[in-house]
Structure formats: C-alpha cells, structure tokens
C-alpha cells in the first residue's frame, strides 16, 4: 500500500470568494462581537449582583449568558485577525481543540432551552412542588444526563475526525474548525463520520428543541384549562419559544447543507454556520433583558444609578 502523508497544518479560507472585500468583514463581525460581550457581561452582572434574581429561572438565564459570552471567544478573535492580517493557519491539534470547545459550548444553546422549559413547566403546571423540583439535588437529575450526553457526543465526533487522513487538501472552507468543513477534506471514507454527525444533530439540537416544544404545548394546554389569570405566566414562555424557533432554524441550515447537496453557496453556508453561534449571543441577552420584567427593571435601576453617580461627580 502506498504511504501517503496526512496534513497536520490547515488554512482557514472562509469567505475567500469575496476576494478584496474580505477584510471589510472585520467591521460587522467586530461590532457583533462587542455587542455580544457587552450585553452578556451586563446580563451576568445584573443577575449575580441582584439578590432578588437568585431564583432558578434567572440563574438559567445567567447560564445562557455565560455560554453566549464564552462561545465567541473560541473563534471570533482568530477570525477577526484573519480578516485584518490574513492569518489563516492552524494546526490539526489546534483545529480539533477549537472544534471541541465550539461544538461543546454550542450544544448548550439548545440544552439550556430544555432546562428553561422544565423550569416553566414546574412553575406553571406543578406550582405547589416548584421549589422541590427546582432544588439543586433534584434538578441535577435533569442537568447531569444532558451534560454527559453533550460531552460524549462531541468528544466522539471530534475523536473520529482526528483519526482521518487528510492527504488531498489542507484548505478548510470556513472561518473556524467546523466539524464537517474539516471532515470533508479527508481522503478516505467519511460515511461513519457523516452518520455520527447526523446522529449528534438529532440527539442534541433536534431532540432538545422537540422536548422543549412539547413542554410548552403541555404548558399552554394546562393554562387554557385553568383560570385566565394564569395567562400572565406565559409571558416568559413566549420569549423561550421565539428563541427556540430562531435557534432551530439557524442550526439546521448549515448542519444539513454539508450533508445534503442542495446548491447552497459556500459563502451562504459559512455565514449561516457562523451566525448560528454568534446571533444568539447578541439576541438572547437583548430579548431576555427586554421581555423579562424583573431583569428589565434592574437594568433600568442600574443605569439610573450610574447616571446619578456620574451627574453628582461632575457637579
């Protein structure tokens, strides 16, 4: 058998089709990055500093903010440097490490929606037992299995990708190490990698969204059968449903476009794949801050306090 060397160094070549316009991508992506960092940091600060927000629902929102704050840090700085200075190189080990962090943290964008759906279900459908269900020892029964599922599935697909031989090309048509963008460069069969990747898509984001959606169907049915005053409890649910819908759409477009040849241009696929990670990071803290009354009130109170201190110091 002929001995063919496998590439150990890769070039991240996302948006290369834009040519000389590629550096201008720094401006919108840098703006999104700053908004994401600022909004999520602010939301975390509000929840942590205000004792009245130390309840399960707001802690889960803070968890979402932490994920949305951390996720862009794994790929956006490197992507911005690539746009400005054309720094596109990455080692195979670095690529696999980045891939693991991106996909592992990315799974929690849907998994947290499941935990939020459970929180709303217990609060609306079983209010008398809410604190019992949402106590840490009890709720860990819902947290630990999903964390283990996410870790094991992502570790599996990354490990399988690391065992492939890349002897044809070392140019990854993406701005970061996305799983299928790397796997499709392999010179051997990738059927098993493709199947495991599809299984991961089904077992994590699809199952999460279906479970969360089913929970809200039960919640709405329960509210419709009860008194009209309970409708106020659905305010937060509507927020979660909006986030679920956007998360599912942004997730499925890039994930399935790699596996089914549908004529979607490479630039569009890269854009949707990137925005699947970035857009929720900007969207989630804004919508939760605006639509969640208690958080909105604390934001206004904090901003008013800062303005008052600034006014006093200037006078």
Domains within the chain, CATH numbers bracketed: 9-299 (1.20.1070.10)
**Single pTM value for the model:** 0.86
Quickly list H helices, 50-135: 56-70, 76-85, 92-125, 130-133
**CB neighbours of residue 258 within 10 Å:** 19
What integer best gives the mean pLDDT of the chain? Answer: 84
Distance CA 257, CA 264 (A): 7
pLDDT in tens, 68-96: 999 999 999 999 999 998 888 999 999 99
Q: Are 25 and 186 in contact (CB under 8 A)?
A: no
User: What per-residue confidence (pLDDT) applies to 154?
Assistant: 96
User: What per-residue confidence (pLDDT) applies to 41?
Assistant: 93
In the chain the beta strands, taken as DSSP E runs, fall at 9-12, 89-91, 171-172
pLDDT digit string (tens) for the chain, length 315 residues: 344 567 889 999 888 888 888 899 999 999 999 999 999 999 999 999 888 888 888 899 999 999 999 999 999 999 999 999 888 899 999 999 999 999 999 899 889 989 988 998 898 888 888 888 898 888 999 999 999 999 999 999 999 999 999 887 889 988 999 888 899 898 888 889 989 988 998 899 889 988 988 888 888 888 777 755 455 556 666 766 777 777 677 767 766 666 665 566 777 778 888 888 888 888 888 887 777 778 888 888 877 766 655 565 555
Distance CA 281, CA 285 (A): 7
User: What per-residue confidence (pLDDT) applies to 260?
Assistant: 62
């Amino acid at each position: 058998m002929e001995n063919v060397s496998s590439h150990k160094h890769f070039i991240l070549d996302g948006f290369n089709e834009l040519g000389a316009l590629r550096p201008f991508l720094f401006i919108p992506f840098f703006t999104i990055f700053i908004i994401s960092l600022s909004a999520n940091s602010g939301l975390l600060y509000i929840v942590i500093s205000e004792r009245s927000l130390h309840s399960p629902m707001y802690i889960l929102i803070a968890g979402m903010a932490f994920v949305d704050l951390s996720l862009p840090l794994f790929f956006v700085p490197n992507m911005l440097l690539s746009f400005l200075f054309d720094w596109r190189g990455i080692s195979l080990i670095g690529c696999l490490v980045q891939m693991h962090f991106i996909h592992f943290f990315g799974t929690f964008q849907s998994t947290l929606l499941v935990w939020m759906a459970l929180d709303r279900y217990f609060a609306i459908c079983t209010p008398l037992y809410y604190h019992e269900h949402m106590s840490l020892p009890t709720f860990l029964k819902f947290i630990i299995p999903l964390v283990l599922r996410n870790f094991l599935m992502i570790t599996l697909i990354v490990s399988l990708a690391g065992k492939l031989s890349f002897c044809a090309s070392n140019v990854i048509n993406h701005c970061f190490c996305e799983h299928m963008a790397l796997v499709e460069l392999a010179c051997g069969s990738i059927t098993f990698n493709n199947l495991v990747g599809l299984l991961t898509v089904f077992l994590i984001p699809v199952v999460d969204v279906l479970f969360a959606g089913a929970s809200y169907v039960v919640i709405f049915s329960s509210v419709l059968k009860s008194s009209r005053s309970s409708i106020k409890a659905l305010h937060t649910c509507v927020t979660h449903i909006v986030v679920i819908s956007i998360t599912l759409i942004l997730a499925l477009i890039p994930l399935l476009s790699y596996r089914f040849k549908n004529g979607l241009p490479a630039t569009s696929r890269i854009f949707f794949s990137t925005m699947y990670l970035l857009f929720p990071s900007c969207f989630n803290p804004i919508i939760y801050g605006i639509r969640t009354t208690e958080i909105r009130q604390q934001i206004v109170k904090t901003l008013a306090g800062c303005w008052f201190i600034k006014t006093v110091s200037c006078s």
